[in-house]
Chains A and B, each alone.
Chain A
Amino acid sequence: MIRDITIGQYFPGNSPIHKLDPRAKLVLTFVYIVSIFFCKNFAALAISVAYLVFAVLLSRISLKLLAKSLKPIVIIVLLTSVLQIFYNDDGTVLFQRGWFEITTGGLVMAAFTTVRIIALVLASSLLTYTTSPTLLTDAIERLFSPLKKIKINVHSIAMMMTIALRFIPLLIDEVDKIMSAQKARGAELDTGSLLKRGQALVPVFIPLFVNAFTRAYDLAFAMECRCYRGGEGRTRLRVMKFCARDYVAFGVTIVCLAGIAVSNYFLTALI
């Protein structure tokens, strides 16, 4: 079960989406996520969903894999859309019992929220699935490099992210191993009250943390051995350069944004 976590993982490939400049991908993903929240009617929402579907198909990432990324947010999606149904009393009443009523406005809000959250998660998963963490953090380092002027060490932050992403799968494996070891000694991790389960996790996390520190220590030695001395004077294996592909991606995105703006302007806003 714990091995299902795919946050921040990279699945190497050769698709046009994989090959996009990571800076472009990062900016486009951000713009896209913001744009989803500006969709005010179903036409606009449809355009933005179509854009995402197009990107997913281009990336050739298996749909099963993407579905996995949605697993952890199912509860959040359900909860927020139910709340929307509860609290929104616009539109005509469809169903009423005591203080509880379902209105068309509530249903529309619930639908929008669901689609928005799912699109948000899928878009960000698509970004990490198709971009190697090194390139992604490299892109972050470059995009935020103006912050160096106000004495923020962008390189260190980017390096920390690279290392964190590299160690996520390792630590997940480790949790799995420790849990099996504790279960073998009779620990009950899957049964009992919430409090009991929480307590049962303590002997899982203590060895995990201890190991993480040992790893950190080893890694620091290994990085020193490889002449790491911070960002200064460092070169890169891959030089980032915008090419035709990136301009096309920007073009498509602008068309999509224009579509959203047009439908927002000419059609009635539902929310």
Chain B
Amino acid sequence: MADIILDFQDVSFRYEADEDEAPMPLCVRHVNLQIEKGSFTVILGHNGSGKSTLAKLSNSILVPESGKVLVNGMDTANEDLSYDIRRTVGVVFQNPDNQIVASVVEEDVAFGPENLGVPPEEIRKRVDDALKAVGMYEYRGHAPHKLSGGQKQRVAIAGMIAMLPECLVLDEPTAMLDPQGRREVLETIHRLNNERGITIVLITHFMEEAVDADRVLVMDDGEILLDGTPQAVFRERETVRRVGLELPKAAELSFDLRADGVPLPPDILTAQALADAVYTLLGEGKHADS
């Protein structure tokens, strides 16, 4: 079990209700989830499915009502461990503007290591390295409010990378970005996973972002509904639709084409794969004709 970094054991959580009001319903219900080191996991769910709460439970910002969350074996309920937990699991939130503390990019990236008491020369190294990792090194002297959304989010990610976390949990990091910004952020996340072996948990409601993951989870009403490879999860079209989500467009189209009798192979998730499959099909057709 040494290679499990995040371990949710029968975790339930509810937010506190205002006084004189009925208790809030559970927003995470008996979740059991193990995240392997170095893996790339995507958690899908529509608004209110409890997926953002899961992010806050993962680094002891919130503590479960029942059950346990272990980060590298450390219990998030133990307050003495919360700083070790937070430097192991970094969380990036949706709105980049609200995560940036300083008025200059490099000073913001330095904020985390400064809090950890890292010596200045080492901070400098980590800041430069983190900014290079997200491709924002040229912007180190800029003011954050003059950057684009995608650039700001990459700065927020660099702020986490500078703390040398083993795992990054990203809570809808692309929800407020335009397509260009979304692409930049996704490429960055994948690069961090491939090149540095940082474990990624990406929480999102964009299906396309799940296609390249090692593992996909679908959440609804605080429970994990589906869990498996992207191929396995997107085979369950009815379940995915029932919770208010849609398959990736290419998968949706190939489903419909197969339903109409076009003999496409199963598990097509990207436009490229669909185009290739159609191309092969047409090629075979020609063969049959000649």
Contact = CB atoms under 8 A, between A and B. Distances in A.
A218 B104 contact: no
B35 to A, nearest CB: 17
B102 A215 contact: no
Interface in A184-239: 214-215, 218-219, 221-229, 233-239
A234 B101 contact: no
Contact of B117 (A166, A170, A233): A233
Given A173-B145, A226-B115, A237 B93 contact: no
Contacts of A53: none
Contacts, number: 106
Interface residues of B, number: 43
A8 to B, nearest CB: 9
A225 B86 contact: yes
Contact of A166 (B83, B93, B102, B118): B102
Interface stretch (B106-114, B187-195, B245-253, B275-283): B106-114
A166 B95 contact: no
A163 B101 CA distance: 6
Contact of B145 (A133, A169, A215, A235): A169
A132 B99 contact: no
A226 B98 CA distance: 13
B59 to A, nearest CB: 6
B86 A224 contact: yes
B107 A235 contact: no
A235 B118 contact: yes
A218 B83 CA distance: 19
B66 interface: no
Contacts of A229: 83, 115
A234 B115 contact: yes
Main secondary structure of the interface of B (DSSP, over half): helix
A132 B104 contact: yes
A235 B95 CA distance: 27
Contact of A236 (B120, B144, B160): B120
B98 A219 contact: yes
Interface in B111-148: 111-120, 123-124, 127, 141-145
A162 interface: yes
Nearest to B107: A134
Given A133-B103, A170-B145, A238-B120, A227 B93 contact: no
A72 interface: no
Residue from B87, B98, B104, B145 whose CB has the most chain A CB atoms within 10 Å: B98
Interface in A56-83: none
A42 interface: no
B232 interface: no
Contacts of A223: 101, 111
Contacts of B110: 236-237
B163 interface: yes
Interface string B76-106: 0000000100110011010101111111101
B279 to A, nearest CB: 46
B115 A228 contact: yes
Given A163-B101, A218-B99, A234 B160 contact: no
Contact of A235 (B61, B101, B102, B114): B114
A12 interface: yes
B95 A218 contact: yes
Interface in A131-171: 132-134, 162-163, 165-166, 169-170
Interface in A214-271: 214-215, 218-219, 221-229, 233-239
Given A218-B93, A218-B98, A222-B93, A227 B104 contact: no
Residue from B115, B116, B156 whose CB has the most chain A CB atoms within 10 Å: B115
16 contacts: A10-B143, A12-B143, A132-B102, A133-B103, A166-B144, A215-B97, A218-B95, A218-B98, A222-B99, A222-B156, A224-B86, A226-B111, A226-B163, A234-B117, A235-B117, A238-B120
Given A132-B107, A229-B83, A235-B114, 19 more contacts: A10-B103, A133-B102, A134-B107, A162-B101, A166-B100, A214-B98, A219-B99, A221-B56, A223-B111, A225-B59, A225-B86, A226-B86, A226-B112, A227-B86, A236-B123, A237-B106, A237-B107, A237-B124, A238-B120
Interface of B: 56, 59, 61, 83, 86-87, 90-91, 93, 95, 97-104, 106-107, 110-120, 123-124, 127, 141-145, 156, 159-160, 163
Interface of A: 10, 12, 132-134, 162-163, 165-166, 169-170, 173, 214-215, 218-219, 221-229, 233-239
Q: Which 10 A-B pairs have the closest CB atoms?
A: A218-B98, A237-B110, A222-B99, A226-B112, A227-B115, A134-B107, A233-B117, A169-B145, A133-B103, A225-B91
